[in-house]
Structure 1
């Protein structure tokens, strides 16, 4: 059953599953790591900052939000509790099952490039994961374009990207360079953004695309959306590594951290140092 206000396109014909994710990416996510990834350490900071931004850019509830690549519903659940009508589309069956168990959330398998949702039927679209795993630019633009198709005129689209420089910095924060296999992954990502990890060892992130901070704006424009702002999610503070859980365990220090990051979230010189970047766009008032 679809969430109220979110209309399916005819017979689900636009829903294409086969070939959405490469085998190593599908295998990575089917291990269940997304259930807890945003609950501790750098993941906790990513969640707190992303949620902080969403509360400021999304329309007021009970707006209809389509959470594309919403995984286990980590954001969909809180959004539903806040009064939003939330529907998750994700290619991983285990993610869909987990998300659908959250109160007020519906979920279905689907592809960000061919969404099974009717034109202009939602108030906001979240792309908080799909852009990581589309190494071909035309396919990333297709995901943005699909978001533009299903969102109502003036509606909001928020996309998350991983920084081109994240693996280089991560390698020193967590000493990944001590493993000789890691350096070639970093060098390839720096050259063309493609982080190609087919190794069964999941010490590092699975195969992905790491954006240069300037790329999302051009993708948004080509998809027919209007760029509103770019936001550094964690800034460089995720690089304090092992000390981060200590900071986040203290409510006062956490509030200070969030306040300070909010003050510099639009500073372009910090975009490349942030592990993640949010690009906020809107559909034209057609």
Structure 2
């Protein structure tokens, strides 16, 4: 399973970098949440599963000491190129899986970003192992920012892009309720394997690993899959919608209609 995910990202470096440029609200709301909850620079941050380095590079530009850790060597190489182009220096580039952070000592980081691992670890035991590792390498009071794909995201995507899939491949539709190979078919041997989580399960999962949950956000706000006109805005109009969507992002009644969820949590203080 891990090999399939690694291959998917090895073949998708530029697309992963561009994805957050296409989904501006997700990027803006996530950054606002990070800026509100991260300790001040030069705090040490582990961007675990950070892919092409979008968040790692942005934080490094603002004075954070960021180590980028990812499953895909191709994405790590791509991130080096992007960091150089942005005149940003990362503390390190490490290859591995989120279930094994043994190269890092206990209490090593002030914050950890989990912007991908928890929705690519299909086995619940692996998700638990990754969260235990995150808690181990975080300092007391350290911050975790963990991303999830919500339960209905796959089905909503199909409704928008390929509604006939429902009758063309009914045997696979059931998988989109929680776990599925996505997109439905590729010819290059790579698959997007993801766990789609019910929003009500996010907080219990994080708390089960000993974290104190501070917030759960739907990072598309009101704009999930209806953001074409929104993305064309600039200036005051764009900023006004970012502020409105940020306020809406905390409303649990909206979370099931969002594609991605973000959980902000902390380890217990010393």
What TM-score does the superposition give when structure 1 sets the normalisation length? 0.84
Where structure 1 has 5 or more consecutive residues not aligned to the other structure, the ranges are: 1-18
Within 1, Cα distance between the matches of 2:68 and 2:212? 24
Match of 1:235 in 2: 221
Q: Structure 1 residues 254, 139: closer, same or farther in 2, change over 3 A?
A: same
SS of corresponding position for 1:154: strand
Within 1, Cα distance between the matches of 2:95 and 2:238? 36
What TM-score does the superposition give when structure 2 sets the normalisation length? 0.89
The reply on whether 1:39 has 2:26 as its aligned counterpart is no
- Between 83-92 and 262-271, the greater mean CA deviation after superposition: 262-271
User: Structure 2 matches for 1:146-225, cutoff 5 A?
Assistant: 146-174=133-161, 176-179=162-165, 180-181=167-168, 184-190=171-177, 193-197=178-182, 199-200=185-186, 206-225=192-211
Moved over 6 A (4+): none
The CA RMSD over aligned residues, in Å, is 2.0
Number of aligned positions between the proteins: 258
Within 1, Cα distance between the matches of 2:116 and 2:187? 22
Where structure 2 has 5 or more consecutive residues not aligned to the other structure, the ranges are: none
Within 1, Cα distance between the matches of 2:256 and 2:246? 16
Q: Is the 8 A contact 2:222 2:248 kept in 1?
A: no
Q: Is the 8 A contact 1:59 1:123 kept in 2?
A: yes
User: Structure 2 matches for 1:77-88, cutoff 5 A?
Assistant: 77-88=57-68
1:167: Cα distance to partner?
Answer: 1.4
1:240: Cα distance to partner?
Answer: 1.1
The reply on whether 1:75 has 2:61 as its aligned counterpart is no
Match of 1:124 in 2: 111
